[in-house]
Amino acid sequence: MVDFTLGEDLEALRLSVREFANDVVAPVIGDYYERHAFPYDIVRQMGKMGLFGLPFPEQHGGMGGDYFALCVALEELARVDSSVAVTLEAGISLGAMPIYRFGTDEQRAQWLPRLVSGEALASFGLTEPGAGSDAGGTQTRAVLDETAGEWVINGSKAFITNSGTDITALVTVTAVTGVNPDGSKELSAIIVPNGTPGFTVQPGYSKVGWCASDTHELNFDDVRVPAANLLGERGRGYAQFLRILDEGRVAFAALGVGLAQGCVDESVAYAKQRRAFGKAIGEYQAIQFKLADMEARAHTARLAYYDAASRLVNGRDFKRQAAIAKLQASDAAVTNAREATQVHGGYGFMNETPVARMWRDAKILEIGEGTSEVQRMIISRSLGL
């Protein structure tokens, strides 16, 4: 028998994060959002709750949970705000997870305790101005100075989350480190601590959404780091981060489901109290059917990420299911955000309302961590096409 209900521990986590999102995040996040300010106090409290350590073993200071636990937390946060949710998602799946998956014992001991406690954040530098989904177009280069025992890095990265906060500790950079026997670029991953000479964090972007999250362009001008900062095997950077991105897509799907469900929650509450032509608009079948479709989208996408997350934590192949979950969740989020804005009418067009923030936040879910087109490529290839 297949049971889609959460176990006792996950249900307790879900309720705890929901309470935090409703009581701590919801009352203040609108102000952070409009000021384009990073919510340090909220992040600090998430760290004290252990959220940044959810999928990591206790030996590294984590909570001993797994990716399913992370996804449940992300969904509940994103029901209220996506900036906070993506700060957690990127801090774990793109920041700390590469070091946990591929780092040496020394690298884990150096970085993980602060990252899993939320005292520090890490970022992941893959995307470049001319290389997004096509990671093979990477232009950033790292040359090994064998005499000095250092990597010398030159290039730039774009749209990097959590890269310029006061608590950002490092960025893991993918760079061309040579040429493979078949003539393709050899890509490797290298840890660059913040504050390293020649490493410059550019001013934050002016974004459509995720306005309370941290996103920057990064420049590297003869940046020197120890040869020991190589993360994983030389030449395996691309393969390593394909794995990281597959996992991240499951988490991204959970975030999208949270936004989609948040649109339902806000719209149902509004439809019950907004009156037109003598009765609540929720009594009109046109609104009822719109809300029914929104709930169906959120529910279907949730089942998709539950399946992908379950496969991931049980050691089964999950690449196709991750792509399906990410595709379905991002579509549900974008569609529900549009419909929620419509239900709210003029009020939905005012930035102070939660659905306006959700409308602005939704679109990036069809772009970040692999566009919807890339997800369709992954799915079709898994079908042998």
Q: Give backbone dihedrals phi and psi of 349, rounded to 5 degrees, phi first.
A: -90, 0
N-term to C-term CA, the chain: 33
Token pair for 2: 């297949």
- The answer to whether 369 is a known catalytic residue is yes
User: DSSP character for 142?
Assistant: E
Token pair for 360: 């602005």
DSSP H stretches of helix in the chain: 8-20, 29-35, 40-49, 67-78, 82-89, 97-102, 105-117, 237-273, 285-313, 319-344, 354-362, 372-382
Tell me if 231 sits within 8 A of 104, measured CB to CB.
no
Most distant CA atoms of the chain, gap in Å: 82
Distance CA 35, CA 38 (A): 9
Tell me if 25 sits within 8 A of 80, measured CB to CB.
yes
Tell me if 93 sits within 8 A of 81, measured CB to CB.
no
Q: Do the strands 275-276 and 185-193 form a parallel or antiparallel pair, or are they unpaired?
A: unpaired
Token pair for 314: 């049980």
Residue type for position 372: S
Token pair for 345: 């009418």
| DSSP of 351-378 | TTSHHHHHHHHHGGGGTTTS-HHHHHHH
Distance CA 20, CA 49 (A): 10
Instruction: Write down the catalytic residue from 11, 76, 369, 373.
Output: 369
For residue 161, the surrounding DSSP H or E stretch is strand 150-161
Active site residues: 369
